[in-house]
A and B are shown apart, each in its own frame.
Chain A
């Protein structure tokens, strides 16, 4: 499938996000897409306006007796709260009077502090300027390399989002989330993983079709409270079964614990 239909499918999901009809896990993915893509951001701003306007259609006159009753209850609570809050600082001020210092002590102290700050700054500037040029060169090199890395990571993230949200992706449900296959790419998208014991990680496993031999995949520690997406660098068209298990840090060559799940891709 070309990149354009992928993008259109993702922009459709931006509309769902603007309307507020996406489940939390999918919404997090789309929010990330919007944050990183100018076109998606523009689309979101436009559609969010329409979604916000929708609420106005519910604006109807309220029965006057009901309206007055609600207001009375609310204002009684609010006035009581405001009165209590106004009383608090007064009592506090009465208990703890501010310490008083003579004015000459403030003046002398401030002058001494200013002199020390000036001396420190002058010496520091001299030392700093000498090293600045070399440090700036090193920083430019580091930033350029980091930028290239970020661009590669962003491209991978975009591909991953497109795969996860594509209507032609196949989602295999497991109790902890889902296994997503699109074309030759394979992902775990998991949100309900139990916490790991100390010194352990989760490890993904794959077995090629018609085989029971599990090949080790990536290890990971899930993000608590959000969706953990793990790309498995395998040719998904050849994979018959996937599994997940808890392993010691660093991973294992074969599963050493009862798998959290085993999912045939059928």
Chain B
């Protein structure tokens, strides 16, 4: 089981040592997402504080599944809020935790290492990689991506889909059931 899931069970019971362990295990990821999206360490630090405080004050918002995927989405959502407050960006919808029968294997996501994902991203054709990274870390909508890269909307969609498919294949069984 994803160690974050076990720790969250204890955090729900107000166990501060479990919360501390959760911080030790995942603050690098949360800080890293903040840094990639917001671009400066002090904003990333604020974001990390916000995300972990939310985990402590509202642990029930984690409804099972992969903790690492959930905490990444929370971090990205917060970063998008910050980006939106700085400019008139359209509101992006990050998929909720749908109750999927075919849910991802929690252990798989929990055990992915950063270098392996970076290698898989580097192996994508540049036009697919840049769209995926700009969308995920830059908080751009597909229309903005089309405008910024001067690419037809249909092509943007197809490239993102193909890129995600390749990424999944490249990471192999690590991101499938």
Contact A50 B114 (CB under 8 A): no
Interface window among A72-80, A103-111, A152-160: A72-80
In angstroms, Cα B31 to Cα A198, docked, is 50
Distance to closest chain A CB from B88 (angstroms): 13
Contact A53 B171 (CB under 8 A): yes
B142 contacts A by Cβ under 8 Å: yes
Restricting to A52-81, which residues have a CB under 8 Å from any CB of B?
52-63, 66-67, 70-71, 73-75, 77-79, 81
Contacts of B161 in A (CB 8 A): 11-12, 14-16, 47
In angstroms, Cα B19 to Cα A54, docked, is 25
Distance to closest chain A CB from B14 (angstroms): 5
In angstroms, Cα B52 to Cα A59, docked, is 16
Chain B interface extent, by class:
35 or more
Contacts of A66 in B (CB 8 A): 41, 45
A244 contacts B by Cβ under 8 Å: no
Distance to closest chain A CB from B91 (angstroms): 5
Distance to closest chain B CB from A261 (angstroms): 20
Contact A20 B45 (CB under 8 A): no
Contact B76 A55 (CB under 8 A): yes
In angstroms, Cα B96 to Cα A31, docked, is 9
Contact B95 A17 (CB under 8 A): yes
Contact B90 A60 (CB under 8 A): no
A209 contacts B by Cβ under 8 Å: no
Contact B154 A167 (CB under 8 A): yes
Distance to closest chain A CB from B72 (angstroms): 3
Interface centre among A41, A62, A77 (most CB of B within 10 A): A62
In angstroms, Cα B56 to Cα A16, docked, is 31
Taking a contact as CB atoms closer than 8 A, the residue among B41, B72, B116 that contacts A52 in the complex is B72
A82 contacts B by Cβ under 8 Å: yes
In angstroms, Cα B12 to Cα A13, docked, is 36
Contacts A51-B136, A54-B132, A70-B48 supplied; 12 other A-B pairs, CB < 8 Å: A11-B161, A21-B136, A31-B96, A45-B103, A52-B69, A53-B168, A53-B171, A56-B117, A57-B117, A57-B121, A59-B28, A75-B16
Q: How many A-B residue pairs have CB under 8 A?
A: 207
Taking a contact as CB atoms closer than 8 A, the residue among B73, B100, B109 that contacts A45 in the complex is B100
A238 contacts B by Cβ under 8 Å: no
B127 contacts A by Cβ under 8 Å: no
Sample of 25 A–B contacts (CB below 8 Å)? A9-B154, A16-B157, A18-B95, A19-B132, A20-B136, A21-B142, A22-B93, A22-B141, A28-B93, A41-B100, A50-B165, A50-B168, A51-B136, A52-B68, A53-B171, A55-B68, A55-B69, A57-B118, A59-B32, A60-B31, A66-B41, A67-B28, A67-B31, A70-B31, A70-B49
In angstroms, Cα B48 to Cα A73, docked, is 11
Q: Which residues of A contact B (CB under 8 A)?
A: 9, 11-24, 27-28, 31, 34-35, 41-42, 44-63, 66-67, 70-71, 73-75, 77-79, 81-82, 85-86, 167
Distance to closest chain A CB from B73 (angstroms): 8
Chain B's closest residue to A51 (CB) is B164
B8 contacts A by Cβ under 8 Å: no
Contacts of B135 in A (CB 8 A): 16, 19-21
In angstroms, Cα B44 to Cα A59, docked, is 13
A21-B141, A67-B27 known; A46-B176 Cβ under 8 A: yes
Contact B168 A46 (CB under 8 A): yes
